[in-house]
Amino acid sequence: MVKKVAILANGGDVSGFNAVIRAIVKTAEQNGIECYGFIEGYKGLLNNDYVRLDTYNTASGILHKGGSIIGSSTNSNVFNYKVEENGQVVYKDLSDKCVQNVKDDGFDCVFTLGGDGTQKSARDLSLKGINVIGVPKTIDNDVACTDITFGYNTAVSVAAEAIDRLHTTGETHHRIMVLEVMGRYAGWIALESAIAGGGDVALIPEIPYDINKAADKIKDRVKKGKRFSVVVVAEGAAPKDGEISVEGVRDNGKGVDNTKLGGAGVRVAKELESLTGLEARNTTLGYMQRGGTPTAFDRVLSTKYGAKAMRACNRRKIWGSCCIKERKT
């Protein structure tokens, strides 16, 4: 019988974290199962720092809240963890300590709420004997074998609203309004927000762009009386025979993406202004896409994920690292 489970939220925050946590806790309570949460993701798992979760106290009134009530950690790869020894920074595999913590605490299963990196670590922990169920999270919508991740719909909705607002400014002042959105190496946010917001050009990582064709599209609009355009640029978009725009490189060790993207929108705005003769302005939406209240869609999706994950655990449908996925029918 499953008696005791734990949840960890890992990676960048998204709207829907708390809705998943709430659904897991509520479903656990309905089946007489104790539920706990590791504080700050894999960092909490490593430090064995956790709290009891219940729907009358710690996990109460959280459905509509953004962020995570148990925090989250980024770039915490327990298989290559950054530590300081004798004044020197070294990287160590501390996964065995995590495994021992789970066993000592008596957790029958750990729910890992996270994206690609989080689920890779979950898979590797499962190979060391820990029962794991992964729930796919990321605004980027790029978790393998998953049609839609929680947090994504909210991010697209925020970006679409930004496009609506930029549209009126561009039309008033006859400008090219460029919006840079998140997504890392996936163009889902850029593409779907552009469609939803009526954008004129969308540049995504999956298709290296020709800036001249984008400029031609804008000039054609001018000929037809449209003296403004809205261009949506994914942060990971790159020109043909060019490189992505990188703001910097972090030092968080192997096993995580240390590339800090940034500047794609500024670059595109400058080039389009030069090619078209129209004023161009860039807006980088940034963390506005990650935070705040989740949409109704994300609340429902997150609730489905959480409830399904806990039911799968209670039915002993745990095999290695089982990732709960939303599939189209």
Q: Using one digit for the tens of pLDDT, what is the confidence trace for 7-66?
A: 999 999 999 999 999 999 999 999 999 999 999 999 999 999 999 999 999 999 999 999
Residue 180 identity (one-letter amino acid): E
In terms of Cα–Cα distance, which of 75, 123, 184, 178 is closest to 321? 123
Q: Considering the chain, what is the average pLDDT of its residues?
A: 92
Under the banding of pLDDT at 50, 70 and 90, the label for residue 318 is: very low
Judge: domain 153-289, CATH 3.30.10.20. Answer: no
Which pLDDT score is estimated for 224?
96
Q: Which of 130-134, 241-245, 246-250 has the lowest mean pLDDT?
A: 246-250
Under the banding of pLDDT at 50, 70 and 90, the label for residue 329 is: very low
Q: Beta strands 34-38 and 229-234: pairing type?
A: unpaired
More confident of the two residues 90 and 110: 110
Active site residue 140: yes
**Sign of the torsion angle spanned by Cα atoms 136, 141, 142, 148:** positive
Under the banding of pLDDT at 50, 70 and 90, the label for residue 142 is: very high
DSSP 89: E
- Alpha-carbon distance of 60 to 68, in angstroms, equals 13
For residue 107, how far is the Cα from the chain centroid?
A: 26
Domain map (residue ranges) of the chain:
4-150+294-323, 153-289
Helix, strand, coil percent content, the chain, rounded in steps of 5:
40, 20, 40
DSSP 294: P
**Sign of the torsion angle spanned by Cα atoms 16, 18, 19, 20:** positive
Give the whole-number percent of the chain exceeding pLDDT 70.
Answer: 94
Under the banding of pLDDT at 50, 70 and 90, the label for residue 328 is: very low
Judge if 4-150+294-323 and 153-289 fold alike in CATH terms.
Answer: yes
Under the banding of pLDDT at 50, 70 and 90, the label for residue 215 is: very high
How distant, in Å, are the alpha carbons of 7, 102, 108, 154, 183 from that of 34? 11, 14, 10, 30, 36
Stretch 170-192: mean pLDDT, rounded?
96
- Out of 13, 108, 124, 140, the active site residue is 140
Which pLDDT score is estimated for 75?
76
- Domain 4-150+294-323 falls in which CATH fold? Rossmann fold (3.40.50)
Q: Using one digit for the tens of pLDDT, what is the confidence trace for 255-308?
A: 667 778 889 999 999 999 999 999 999 999 999 999 899 999 999 999 999 999
